[in-house]
Amino acid sequence: MRLTLHRGVSLAVLASARTEAEHHEDLGCSIQGPTSRPVRHAHLPLKQRLAELGPEQSLREAKALIRWMEDTPRYAALCEDSKRRGGRRVLRQDVLFPDASKHKPRILHLRQEEMGLDFPVKVREWPALNELFATLARGATRAELRTLSASSPAVGELLADLSSAGWLVRHEGPFPIPAPGALFVGHNTVLVASQQARVLVDPYFRPASAIDRPDYQPLQPRDIGPVDAVLITHSHGDHFHLGSLLQLPRDTRILVPTVERESLFSTDCVLRLQQLGFTRAESLRWGEERQIGDITVRALPFFGEQPTDGKGLYPGLFNEGNTWLVRTPDFSAAFYADSGHDVRGDMRDVCQQLHQESPVDVLFCGVRGFRLKPLFFGYTTLDAYLVDVPMDELATPQQLMAAPEEALHYGELLGARYVVPCADGGAPWYWREGMGPRYPGYPGEPVSGASTLDENPDADPYPERLQQVRRQVGHGPQALLLRPGESLGWRGRRAPEILRQPGFTWPFGRLPSRHSGSSPLRVL
């Protein structure tokens, strides 16, 4: 019998775990990780004041509120004396670009529901723990676990804890994934499979809950099987998640954006992966290509998801990222995640350039829009972004990402046959963590502070909105809605088939028919 990790257990890599808040600071996450902690703490008085005043009065007094916050002792301590830029006090360089070696992976946090385990890890022990979880993901024999325990006291201790907690269960093996094809795991996680290789985009595996339906569960590494390479779009925690990556073999090729120096908005992904023992992490600049078996991957520009869609206060301070083009012998796919436009460029231009080279079959693109007034960034995961917003932009709505209209337009410019909405949850296990809209029948409650709205049109629209827009405009690529657990089986130039796997089949209702669109695809 082979053993694997219980489906309800999540992994997180932390720099510290002294407080409850630090348990949510994944080391790889730039905007919510330990690097941004001083800024987020300095914003707390402002958030409290906004809650007291309410939205309308807060917007009227936006400039005065920011001046007041910047004079509080905690915020003032982060600033360069009394210098100002764009009406804002200037932060010190070591706050904007902190020493990357200051925070190291020191804690492995494991959790199932309300039961958590903080496991201290020394620097030299991470590779052995990485090997343990990668072995469990493919199914470990008891002999293999004994060998791993003998090789590292830390592994032996952790295995004893896992066994005592009941977190080791029978491994049933991965399920078949069509090749050529693409499996939608959920959020922005997609597995592209050819006849020779498998490439995984933005692995972000979430735990199952006791309240989840037994006939619809979140996918885990144990379900999808081996991968040959991983592509990372950017270093936000729902795209670059070290706890998920820790379950892949150390010699997995992991291609990430180039980050010249770690900042408040961008994690040095290569450094963080090497700290965990990964041996084949590589940063790619825009335009660079790599071959993975018979799959070609190319790093494309990532424009969008910056503090504003105009010019910020600090030159060189950006949420660095790559969008990706993946070409197999049978089909091609582009992955745009949370992109849109910013002061450096527009994804429309990227689309036009790619189309001149060769059309793309399917575009996976976020549709959130994220039309927000920066004054209220503190109520989102983009809290740290507020530091880079000029005083005159505080109350002006910014569109940080593509909305359904832009996503469909990108697909048309690419010459794509299909556009798939993604990068906004898509299932109960994401919604409970504050990502995506809620469908009737979703179990549970969202995390504290997350929206209780079923749909927030400005930040978490239903993916069916893409189909609605397509029906309204009457031209362009088809809007293809995939649920987590569904695959596209792609053979030749025929329409792909939507394939479903027992145990991972969408059980919830769709929106009323007026919001849904027809699909030309065969559903099996």
pLDDT tens, 338-369?
999 999 999 999 999 999 999 999 999 999 99
pLDDT score, position 34: 97
Q: What is the mean pLDDT of residues 447-451?
A: 70
Q: What is the mean pLDDT of residues 296-312?
A: 96
The string of pLDDT tens digits covering residues 24-33 is: 999 999 999 9
Domain membership of residue 95 (yes or no) is no
| 149 and 260 both lie in a single domain | no
| 110 and 215 both lie in a single domain | no
pLDDT score, position 468: 95
Domain boundary among 147, 170, 193: 170
Higher pLDDT residue, 83 or 415? 415
Domain membership of residue 60 (yes or no) is no
The number of helix segments (H) and strand segments (E) in the chain equals 16, 27
| 278 and 160 both lie in a single domain | no
| 156 and 253 both lie in a single domain | no
Phi then psi dihedrals of residue 160, to 5 deg: -65, -40
> How many domains does the chain divide into?
2
The C-alpha atoms of residue 65 and residue 74 are separated, in whole angstroms, by 15
For the domain that residue 255 is a member of, what is the CATH number? Answer: 3.60.15.10
| 166 and 187 both lie in a single domain | no
The C-alpha atoms of residue 501 and residue 487 are separated, in whole angstroms, by 9
The string of pLDDT tens digits covering residues 61-105 is: 999 999 999 999 999 999 998 889 999 999 999 999 999 999 999
- Confidence band of 46 (pLDDT split at 50, 70, 90): very high
Higher pLDDT residue, 237 or 454? 237
Question: Closest by alpha carbon to 28, among 270, 302, 384?
Answer: 270
Q: Which domain holds residue 8?
A: 3-27+103-170
Which two structure tokens, joined as six digits, stand for 514?
Answer: 């007026």
Angle at 72 between CA 67 and CA 78, to 5 degrees: 95
Domain boundary among 170, 193, 210: 170
Residue pair 75/42 in contact (Cβ under 8 Å)? The answer is yes
- Confidence band of 145 (pLDDT split at 50, 70, 90): very high
- Is residue 324 predicted with pLDDT exceeding 50? yes
**% of the chain with per-residue pLDDT over 70:** 96
| 204 and 306 both lie in a single domain | yes
| 513 and 383 both lie in a single domain | yes
The C-alpha atoms of residue 241 and residue 245 are separated, in whole angstroms, by 6
